[in-house]
Amino acid sequence: MKKFASALMLGAALSVAAAGAAFADGKKIGVSWSNFQEERWKTDEAAMKAAIEANGDTYISADAQLSAAKQLSDVESLIAQGVDALIVLSVDSGSVGAVVDKADAEGIPVVGYDRLIEDQRAFYLTFDNKGVGSIIAEQVRAAQPEGNYAIIKGDKGDPNATFLLEGMMEVIGDDVKAGKINIACETFTDGWKPDNAQKNMEQCLTSQNNNIDAVLAENDGMAGGVIAALEAQGLSVPVGGQDGDHAALNRVARGTQTVSVWKDARQLGAAAGNIASQLADGKKLDEVEGAIKWSGGANGVEMNAILLAPTPITKDNINVVIEAGHIAKDKVCEGAVEGVNGCS
């Protein structure tokens, strides 16, 4: 039933892309990015900008550089430039309410992009992050069903870090209670930064005398930092991540990363551009094509949302990202181990 519901959500979201061009014409869509540190945001932006311009609208943006204060200032600037809708990748869920307040005071609709803005005045667009966490845990547990696990979580101020953990624990929780799996280390990672994740993993290895059997990392950038820490100690254990970063997909092919859950950023970016165009043209949040009611946030606020379905990428289906044009075969398959589907 869950898979069927996800498929319905995905199909509805795709209809947004098909119908979007019929809506806003000549509007300004402002985008407030938290940062461009992660590889994937550049991919999101390209798809988002293309969709917005295909609708006859204008894309303008600002980079908050991981500063909540700058994000508020950026949004004020975007409003001053006359935007008709805002797409916000929030820096900090605890302070982003002020951003929505500013937009709402000017009658400007807001799309909370990928990271939850738990406010009924905002539209929520993301992938099923709880489902992503479950997939990471499922794939890593299949490779290492017991032993000492480390969980390297994302930024403490990002609700996605909690959603991912909830999904992970739905999979391994019973094994933890039964003593099959021991959570030896569990840490948040400031800014989702790979170097901070590497430090967290180094501290974990030191505290456990290198006795770690598997790692659940909440994104690919951090998985890279985790693997660097492991390799420095001559260790190789199952590691999971998400985002479909090119470097991570190559690590999957090389056998150093077990899974990268691919959230096709092009699909998410295009959907955001088309949703923003509909809202800029006067549609209400609950009138957006494919919108559902969702209340899975910490405070249970009922919101209008679209949740897209992710795809786990392992050595058994590397061909999927190659065939989709997400990454070139020679890039993903460089140094691949034997038996990687798509690299032979």
| Signed CA dihedral, 334, 339, 340, 344: sign only | positive
For every residue of 87-110, DSSP letters joined together read: EE--S-TTTTHHHHHHHHHTT--E
| Per-residue pLDDT reduced to its tens digit, 216-239 | 999 999 999 999 999 999 999 999
pLDDT bin (cut points 50, 70, 90) of residue 7 is: very low
CATH topology for the 2-127+264-308 domain? Rossmann fold (3.40.50)
CA distance readout (Å), 314 to 53, 140, 221, 248, 340 = 35, 11, 17, 10, 9
Percent of the chain past pLDDT 90, that is, above it, reads 87
The C-alpha atoms of residue 137 and residue 329 are separated, in whole angstroms, by: 27
pLDDT bin (cut points 50, 70, 90) of residue 21 is: very low
Domain spans of the chain, in order of start = 2-127+264-308, 129-262+312-332
The C-alpha atoms of residue 128 and residue 262 are separated, in whole angstroms, by: 12
pLDDT value at residue 25: 54
pLDDT bin (cut points 50, 70, 90) of residue 1 is: very low
pLDDT value at residue 20: 43
Q: Are 278 and 293 in contact (CB under 8 A)?
A: no
| Per-residue pLDDT reduced to its tens digit, 189-211 | 999 999 999 999 999 999 999 99
CA distance readout (Å), 19 to 51, 168, 199, 264, 278 = 11, 35, 46, 20, 9
Q: Are 119 and 301 in contact (CB under 8 A)?
A: yes
The C-alpha atoms of residue 109 and residue 280 are separated, in whole angstroms, by: 7
| Per-residue pLDDT reduced to its tens digit, 279-299 | 999 999 999 999 999 999 989
| Per-residue pLDDT reduced to its tens digit, 126-154 | 999 999 999 999 999 999 999 999 999 99
Once rounded to an integer, what is the mean pLDDT over residues 153-170?
95
pLDDT value at residue 313: 98
pLDDT bin (cut points 50, 70, 90) of residue 93 is: confident
Helix crossing, 97-105 with 68-80: angle to 10°? 10
The C-alpha atoms of residue 318 and residue 341 are separated, in whole angstroms, by: 6
Once rounded to an integer, what is the mean pLDDT over residues 45-62?
97
Q: Do domains 2-127+264-308 and 129-262+312-332 have the same CATH topology?
A: yes
Is pLDDT above 80 for 79? yes
CA distance readout (Å), 231 to 142, 205, 225 = 22, 11, 10
Q: In the chain, which residue ranges form alpha helices assigned H by DSSP?
A: 2-19, 39-54, 68-80, 97-105, 129-143, 159-178, 194-207, 220-232, 246-254, 265-280, 319-323, 329-332
pLDDT bin (cut points 50, 70, 90) of residue 344 is: confident
Reduced to 3 states (helix: H, G, I; strand: E, B; else coil), residue 148 is: strand
Q: Are 137 and 231 in contact (CB under 8 A)?
A: no
Per CATH, the homologous superfamily of domain 129-262+312-332 is Response regulator (3.40.50.2300)
Is pLDDT above 80 for 13? no
106 or 10, which is more confident? 106
pLDDT mean across residues, the chain:
92
